[in-house]
Amino acid sequence: MASRPTDLAPSFISHAPGHWPEVEAEQWNDPRWQLRNRIDSLAELETRLTLTDEERAGVLLAGNKLAMSITPHFFNLIDPEDPDCPIRRQVIPNINEGWTAPEEMADPCGEDSHMPVPGLVHRYPDRVLFLVTDRCASYCRYCTRSRVVSGVGEQHLDTQMEAAFRYLERTPEVRDVLLSGGDPLLFSDDKLDKILTRLRSIPHIQFVRIGSRIPIFLPQRITPELCAMLKKHHPLFISIHTNHPRELTSEVRDALGRLADAGIPLGNQSVLLNGINDHVEIQKALVHKLLMCRVRPYYLYQCDLITGSSHLRTSVTKGLDIIEGLRGHTTGYAIPQFVIDGPGGGGKIPLNPEYVITREPGRVILRNYEGGVFEYAEPTVIPEDVLSGLHDRALETA
């Protein structure tokens, strides 16, 4: 478990300014400064961190696959003394990304084959995934959409906004739109406001979700102005993405608090990653801190079969063991649903440890989190003569 004891503590530490002692607080807290000063070249990275040979080769290879880019805020969470640091391994490329295992795919969720309009994925009848941008504040090395995200790979995202809006307008069965990408919160307030306003003008769209890792990579972007704009578009939900308790700093907690104060229900999606968070104590610390940040742990994903991810993927059994280690041992609200996105476009498939021992006519035999065995009797039909007796008694008392 490559984590420090402080990672497991239910406390929120500020890491600013860390590697940037020369930077004034005003600059540090400016999201534009954070974006302008992202680490996106080998030379820059090597001035701040001693790389392993595997990382240096990984950075050199990343240029035509998935770009490297790390906000100073997120970079500060890296422990420079630890080559297995769980933050470092999420965002610094590694030579292992250059190998595609036989089971891996460029589009593991089969999104490209479900696009009626470029950039709009319509797989389930009543909801769509709207890929509004291919850019993020930082890039995750296991990104399921790395075929298009960051703009350096072979494939490019060519979202046609107007065509997508028109498709939504003439498709009344769509009631739920998830804005994703890339990261929609990278857009200016004005641009995002226009997109949300247009969606809100479509009567059959009942609610909108935004998927974003900005609150984690760039909490400075969650300004009061952004929150005031988002608040106009309720019902609006936001799914954040965080994998390790160290990511939940005091700045992130405050940013999430601003979103929650704007009335936005917040959920978290984590990806199970080898040596990063595939341990029950790390997951427990993460979900407890999420609840303290007013975020409901929502999904724990088995890492998709994305090309070049075998070094970051872990076994399904570990995920099941984590759920087993949470259920009954902590608050029900803290337990995410463990899922696999069915490879090739199967959608989310829930996975749970087996709590049903047998199912027989009239009864189910169950086990609880401590291994205790319990019998639950299915409903018994009231016998006819008893029912008729009850009717007679009711008439007598009338």
Mind telling me the catalytic residues?
123-124, 127, 136, 140, 143, 145, 304, 341, 348
Question: Under rule CB under 6 A, which residues in 240-279 are in contact with ligand SF4?
Answer: 241
Segment lying near ligand SF4 (by CB under 6 A), choices 115-123, 177-185, 312-320, 383-391: 177-185
Which residue from 2, 45, 68, 149 is in contact with ligand SF4, where contact means CB under 6 A? 149
Alpha carbons within 13 A on the beta-carbon side of 199: 31
Measured distance CA(70)–CA(68) in Å, rounded: 7
Q: Residue count of the chain, please give it.
A: 398
Mask of contacts with ligand SF4, 58-87, x by CB under 6 A? ------------------------------
Q: For residue 388, what are its two tokens?
A: 């008729």
Question: Under rule CB under 6 A, which residues in 123-142 are in contact with ligand SF4?
Answer: 136, 139-140
183 contacts ligand SF4 (rule: CB under 6 A): yes
Measured distance CA(219)–CA(254) in Å, rounded: 8
Q: For residue 306, what are its two tokens?
A: 């994305």
Q: Please state the closest distance from residue 252 (CB atom) to ligand SF4, in A.
A: 14
Q: Which is nearer to ligand SF4, 288 or 311 (CB)?
A: 311
Q: For residue 273, what are its two tokens?
A: 């990653």
Q: Per the omega criterion (within 30 degrees of 0), is the bond before 172 cis?
A: no
298 contacts ligand SF4 (rule: CB under 6 A): no
Q: Please state the closest distance from residue 140 (CB atom) to ligand SF4, in A.
A: 3
Q: Please state the closest distance from residue 3 (CB atom) to ligand SF4, in A.
A: 21
Please work out the total of residues on this chain that contact ligand SF4, with binding judged by CB under 6 A: 11
Binning the chain into helix, strand and coil, the percentages to the nearest 5 are 35, 20, 45
Q: Please state the closest distance from residue 285 (CB atom) to ligand SF4, in A.
A: 21
Q: Please state the closest distance from residue 350 (CB atom) to ligand SF4, in A.
A: 21
Of 204, 192, 91, 86, the closest CA to residue 137 belongs to: 91
C-alpha distances out from residue 337 to 232, 250, 273, 371, Å: 30, 26, 16, 21
- What are the residues whose beta carbons fall under 8 Å from the beta carbon of 136, sequence distance 6 or more? 69, 149, 150, 181, 182, 183, 186, 213, 217
Question: Under rule CB under 6 A, which residues in 201-230 are in contact with ligand SF4?
Answer: 213
Q: For residue 10, what are its two tokens?
A: 């239910």
Residues forming the site for ligand SF4 (CB under 6 A): 136, 139-140, 143, 145, 149, 181-183, 213, 241
